[in-house]
Amino acid sequence: MKISTFLPIFVVICLISVSGQAGASEKLLFDLPYGWNQVAIKSDEIKEVRQYTPYGKNPADSTVNLTKTVLLGSPEVLLSDLVNNSLSHISSRCKKPEIQPLVVELKEDYFSQAVFSRCGVDGAYGNSKAVLAIKGKQSLFLLEYSWQEGPFTDKDVSRFEIRKDKVARSFSWAQICDDIAGSDSCHVKRKKYLDYLRNESGRMTK
């Protein structure tokens, strides 16, 4: 089976608003793969959920999806509980799921937890998932990449290492910003990120 090593070049930085919650001015900056679009949003007074897929796809027919969840108002929820809840779906569908920590070096000193999980070899599914949970000062943020693929064999396992490295690098750019705080302004952080792409990777396209 051919396993996608997809995460494409990350040249778009997405600004996530948590508006609607009194006193919550925090936002999340994160890498969104070039050509991806927001395809769904659900929100209420305590939670906001957005879904993203590659261009022309929707959550029902895409083999890879990104979901961003914001729990507003500093809820008393442990990051480990958020991550475990996220992994519960893949655990229920997989044969001997494997869960490994992701080494993610955030640019800021926020509590975070990141993991990568995949189904076991020769199971009924070849699903995998990457999760990053970050605790801000006002809200909790959760980024989840989900891949839905057919069963794989031992020959495919090494390709997951490439996927893990790419998603860990992407997650490392996740940053909480706050337009009320001068040095933490979203504009300043976004500019620094774009400058990095121009100066270090040469991958800026616009």
Residues 6+ apart with CB under 8 A from 185: 177, 178, 179
Quick check: 111 pLDDT over 70? yes
Mean pLDDT of all residues belonging to the chain: 78
How confident is the model at residue 21, as a pLDDT? Answer: 46
Widest pairwise Cα distance in the chain: 52
The rounded distance, in Å, linking the Cα atoms of 65 and 145 is: 6
The rounded distance, in Å, linking the Cα atoms of 86 and 10 is: 24
How do residues 117-148 score in pLDDT, each as one tens digit? 988 766 667 788 999 999 988 889 999 999 98
pTM over 0.85: no
Give the type of residue at 204: M
Per DSSP (E only), the strands in the chain are: 12-16, 26-32, 36-43, 47-54, 64-71, 98-101, 111-118, 128-135, 140-147, 175-178
